[in-house]
Structure 1
Amino acid sequence: MKNLLCLSVICLFVLLWSGCSAADESTEDKNDDIEETEESNTNNVETDNQENKTDDGNNEESESKPNELTNEKAEEILLNLKQTFMVETTNDNIVINYDTVAELQQHFETVMSESLAERYLDGYFQKENENLKLLATEEPAWFQPEEDYSLEEENPTTYHLIQKQQSELHGNKEYTFTIKAREDTTWYVSNISSKDINQEFTEKDAIELVSEHLEGELGDNMALRFDRMEEGNYIIHVFENTETHTATYGWYEVNPETEEVTSMF
């Protein structure tokens, strides 16, 4: 009987000990799960913060970088340049809306550089009796939207619009309009430069050279006409043209490179 009682006590003790051990293990597992969850949440927060910083950096870079300058935008800028220069004046060329050079320069610098504004002010305006006056002279050379041009990128903030123009006033020139971006990414005209272009030799040039070559020999009834090209040279026919007949006076060859005139007879 005593042995049976002792055995029962021992079994009860074993069951209690096993239950306590299982409870401790369960508690430890729960604690481990909580720690892993907290660590995972911390890592997610750090990752989100890093992504937000990266996004902020990209946004700042995007905000500070100007958009690509398109042909349409470049044309708009250069046409606005001309419109800004053409200030309203009286019949006596007195500037109406700007009383001082400083005011007019500030107006110009909304679309152009300080140096270009000063160039326009020095060349086309003067102070007269406390007034600003637009000088009666030829206008600056402007961009011609109906003519061909090329737009070249030097870097993301600097472009060059290049256009060839020919006029009686300015001659045959190639203009370079330099357009730059300000720190606030707005575009403005930084500079305008030009260079002379050698005009292509034409039939008219060949006829004029022959006429100069025969100066003093041609009568009122004499005519000169381009006939054909031979080995790169212009052939000019000189003839007498009257009401009754046409008589050849001579044939002349003109070298377009040397501008030499040679009689073919």
Structure 2
Amino acid sequence: MWTAILLSAAAMTAIVALRYLASSGIFALATNRRLPGYHAKLGKQIRSEIGWSLASAAIYGIPAGIVAWGWQERGWTRIYTESDAMPLWYLPLAPLLYLLLHDAWFYWTHRLMHRPRWFKAMHAVHHASRPPTAWAAMSFHPWEAITGAMVIPLLVFLVPIHVTMLGLVLLVMTVMGVTNHMGWEMFPRALVHSRLGGWLITASHHQRHHEEYRCNYGLYFRHWDRLCRTDKGLSERI
């Protein structure tokens, strides 16, 4: 049993690391085409971002691997594969619930990590990226990585979700984590400045967090920032 758990954790760590390298690499290449020279003087920073991110991959991969083993071998989680296990209307609702709950957790832990002691101990590693790049998506101190790594593994024990919808959640989490740090806005201006865009977080919104630190703490949605009056709008630099 323990060998199987270790193998599952190792496999998931490798998957998370390869997912990070592939997604950040693709958007870093896009950045080089969109903003020639943006990375020119950031070689040392990018190497540091990659190093911290690969360490974070293990911290994310180990609990994910344990949960994957428990799902397959013991049926521990509420992940399901049968099309009729839940009503059809629930299929798209589940990923929205996951994103909303993840966003709430992220907002409050992120805001906590901006308190001076917590910032110095945990979050300063992430903000050492000046300016942030696509490689900074998982550039976290281990303690910060732990706070992020526990969310989805806990949710799969609490909230039913089809395995394909769980894949969608992980895709959104990966893409937004990378694109929000790459220094330019990939989404159309018409969307970013629309009524819908006013509730979504994209690079323009998160860039301002990296510029001013004490604002724009959300991950996917802006409602917590708006409710708590920490939303300072979009960056004017991108």
Q: Same fold by TM-score, threshold 0.5 exceeded?
A: no
Q: Please state which band the TM-score falls in when normalised by the shorter chain.
A: under 0.3
Greater fraction of residues in helix: 2
Greater fraction of residues in strand: 1
> TM-score, normalized by length of structure 2?
0.22
Greater RCO structure (CA 8 Å; 6+ sep): 2
